[in-house]
Amino acid sequence: MAALQYYVYVGLVLLVTVGGLLALAVTTRDLRGESGFALDVLSALVIGLFIAVLAWTTVL
């Protein structure tokens, strides 16, 4: 049961992190008035992966 709670916690952290960064990418693109959405998404995913690794190692 503890393992299930652990995986649910990690999944929620990943979901909130990546979702928040994607929302940030969309917001900053709109504020700048640029159309480089793919690059913003790529940047958000890289940053999200970095934060997810940090969160994963913190949980462990």
pTM over 0.75: no
Answer whether residue 55 shows pLDDT above 70: yes
Q: Which residues contact 44 (CB under 8 A, 6 or more apart)?
A: 18, 21, 22, 24, 25
Tokens representing 8?
């649910």
Tens of pLDDT, residue by residue over 33-48, are: 666 666 667 777 777 7
CA 33 to chain centre: 23
Answer whether residue 32 shows pLDDT above 70: no
When the pLDDT of each residue in the chain is averaged and rounded to a whole number, the result is 73
Residue 47 belongs to domain spanning: 2-59
Identify the burial level of 2 via C-beta atoms within 10 angstroms of its C-beta, where 0-12 means exposed, 13-18 middle and 19 or more buried.
exposed
Tokens representing 5?
């709670």
Q: In which band, very low, low, confident or very high, does the pLDDT at 29 lie, cut at 50, 70 and 90?
A: low
Number of domains in the chain: 1
In terms of phi and psi (left: phi > 0; alpha: psi -120 to 50; beta: otherwise), the region of 34 is beta
